[in-house]
Amino acid sequence: MKDPSEVVGMSDFDFFDYEHAQDARNDELEIIETGNSKKDKVEKEVLPDGRTLWVLTSKMPLKDETGKIIGTFGISRDISAQKQAEFELEKANKKLVDASRLAGMAEISVNVLHNIGNVLNSINISSVNSIKIAESSKHSQILKIADLLEANVEGAPFLTDDARGQQIIPYIRKLSDQMDKNQETLLDELRGLEKHLSHVKAVLQTQQSYSKNTELLESFLVSDIIIDAIHINKSSFQRHTIKLEREILDEPEIESDKHRLLQILVNFIKNAKCACDEHPKDQKIIWIGSKLCANDSLEIWVTDNGIGIPPENIPKLFKHGFTTRSDGHGFGLHSCANLATELCGKIRVESKGHGEGSKFILTLPLVRTCPLDSA
């Protein structure tokens, strides 16, 4: 925390590298010009001492009593720990993928799973600590400052007569309100992170238990799993400017293994994202939805308007090791096919060819009936 005397008269160029400072200035000029806020923008900040921070920034127009925009105000939240955890998990996941390509579905590297477990434990501890910090925030005291100033405004001509001083109390109140909203958003995200960590833990346990052929059957809403799969991939959509739309025609309850189903949907969405990246369209869209079908079954689909699939490649998609991407490993869709079989379901693919997008459809029974040893 800096004393006001240390920052008055300075700009972002005095605290950050030129590229970030210029970007921040452009944002503020745009807010002043349009009156539109910029919320939840992830920014990379390089400090003068060389340290790098990741922050989640929200900025809004500052208006006077007549509604005229006289500047901007905002708040930035340090998410460096979260970004570092994401980088660590991504690196660990790459290790798992590489090991899986060599070992196949039959054997998963125990060491890699153990390392991922260690990363997850660190992330879990970080999320729990972050929740405690967020819940114990003392920012509500800021509102008391405004109340104190308002109660003692008499005899303070700067606050009552000066146009700049007249903005101080309203500004403090707006800042307190924004911090309340940011705290609520932060807590929602952190609690969501806790939930998704439990999914990842269950996925690891599933991989480790393949040799035992065990699974966990429970009843749940398919729409909840779809939302979770979207949330896990959310950061990818933001980075790659991909629009995602839901087409939930039916929201039935299904009895199945939710973590196996989550693995399939996350993989479908990831493939759809890659297909969109490979196609030079201005508007890249992914649709995900579900509907009830005959014979007490359910269809869940992920459709994209990406690069499409040549007809000759469709029969090969689910074979172990087959891939058309230079950085692919040929494991994901093969894994999805095996998981679908274990859930007594099946996967089919539709595509009109190159440049025409594709649709992956998973069909599942509402109640799993096939014995595990025949899956």
Q: Tell me, what CATH number does 326's domain have? A: 3.30.565.10
Q: CA angle, 332 as apex, 345 and 217 as ends, to 5°?
A: 40
User: In this structure, is residue 343 part of a structural domain?
Assistant: yes
The structure's pTM equals: 0.49
User: In this structure, is residue 257 part of a structural domain?
Assistant: yes
Total domains present in the chain? 1
- Gap between the Cα atoms of 121 and 140, Å rounded: 32
User: In this structure, is residue 245 part of a structural domain?
Assistant: yes
User: In this structure, is residue 363 part of a structural domain?
Assistant: yes
Q: Are 35 and 67 in contact (CB under 8 A)?
A: no
- Gap between the Cα atoms of 319 and 348, Å rounded: 13
Identify the top-confidence range among 240-244, 251-255, 367-371: 251-255
- Gap between the Cα atoms of 366 and 39, Å rounded: 40
The model's pLDDT over 222-235, given as tens digits with 9 standing for 90+, comes to 998 898 888 777 76
User: In this structure, is residue 271 part of a structural domain?
Assistant: yes
Q: Name the β-bridge partners of 42.
A: 56
Torsion 360-365-368-374 (CA) sign: negative
Residue 212's pLDDT band, with cuts at 50, 70 and 90, is very low
**Half-sphere exposure for 107 (CA within 13 Å, toward CB):** 6
The model's pLDDT over 83-140, given as tens digits with 9 standing for 90+, comes to 888 888 888 777 776 655 555 544 444 555 656 666 676 677 777 778 888 777 777 7
User: In this structure, is residue 90 part of a structural domain?
Assistant: no
Check pLDDT > 80 for residue 292: yes
User: In this structure, is residue 320 part of a structural domain?
Assistant: yes
Identify the top-confidence range among 187-191, 248-252, 360-364: 360-364
User: In this structure, is residue 88 part of a structural domain?
Assistant: no
Q: Which domain holds residue 364?
A: 216-374
The model's pLDDT over 299-317, given as tens digits with 9 standing for 90+, comes to 999 999 999 999 999 988 8
Check pLDDT > 60 for residue 210: no
